Amino acid sequence: MDGTVDGFRYGAVTPIAAYVMACLGGALGLRCIVRSLLDGDSWKPGWLALGAVSIGCGIWTMHFIAMIGFQVEETRIGYHVGLTVLSLAVAIAVVGIGVFIVGYRGRAGGSLWIAGAVTGLGVAAMHYLGMAALQLNGSIDYDPRTVALSVLIAVVAATAALWAAVTVRGFLTSLGASLVMGVAVSGMHYTAMAAVSVHVHSGTPSWAGDSPTSLLLPMLIGPVIFLLLAGVVVMFDPLLVLGDGEWHHAAPPTRTAPTKPADRPAAGRSWTGTRR
């Protein structure tokens, strides 16, 4: 029997909340990458790692907030804890590969395209690994063409986000890029969910998975708190608050050593001309 799939159980609440988290993670990640590029003397690996974790947590949180609104009317839904946690690790690790590539190589030699492809495939892997954690009394099938479209959207979105990270400098332009990134990531998620169809099995379910609210809500607390703390770090960093030009303008001038008296010409004498 085909199940009745509903991805908007709570109306617009879960899509809006998911979009906000995707934008927050994207904005923090982009600003951290920009920070690593503005000041070559800063701790680049630390800023890039913070950016990768922020983007990965934002994407993962977006996915599972959206999944709270997913239901199949004919069966209960549960989640496998191990696969759910693994999907978060995959998101952070693969996004980190792309972030470090552009952080150290920029757009040189096609590195942007490689980083975008790797990151996009990682985002898609996170999504479908998270879907593999889904447990219900039935089987899930996917439309191959819609799946391919969702993967393409993920790659394009990731490439555009990384391009913005190495190109955009201003705060407002970074904010606009994160809003566009949120649209792309959310669009990838709901495109992938459009590929889902469920065949419900008859009889009593043989699984004992946790419900979405009992598992996902507690698990979402950690990434959300991390994103808030990362936001505090970014907000209070002087270079990101002032901007590149304002930072150098506000920096105190470099003091030079005074000229030694012996180096000055004596009074009444000139160092130019020839003494006869």
pLDDT tens per residue across span 27-47: 888 888 888 877 656 688 888
DSSP state of 95: H
What does the pLDDT read at residue 210?
Answer: 55
Q: How many domains, the chain? A: 1
- Position 185, amino acid: V
Residue 162 domain-assigned? Answer: yes
What does the pLDDT read at residue 127?
Answer: 92
Its domain, for residue 70, covers 5-247
What does the pLDDT read at residue 272?
Answer: 45
Residue 276 domain-assigned? Answer: no
What does the pLDDT read at residue 216?
Answer: 66
Largest CA distance in the chain: 118
Q: Coil, helix or strand for 76?
A: coil
Residue 274 domain-assigned? Answer: no
Contact call for residues 65 and 185 (beta carbons, < 8 A) = no
What does the pLDDT read at residue 192?
Answer: 92
Residue 141 domain-assigned? Answer: yes
Mark the ranges of the chain whose per-residue pLDDT is less than 70: 39-42, 169, 203-218, 236-276
What does the pLDDT read at residue 256?
Answer: 44
Residue 44 domain-assigned? Answer: yes
Residue 37 domain-assigned? Answer: yes
Describe the crossing of helices 171-194 and 111-132 by its angle, rounded to 10 degrees. Answer: 50
- Position 180, amino acid: V
What does the pLDDT read at residue 275?
Answer: 44
Residue 272 domain-assigned? Answer: no
Residue 252 domain-assigned? Answer: no
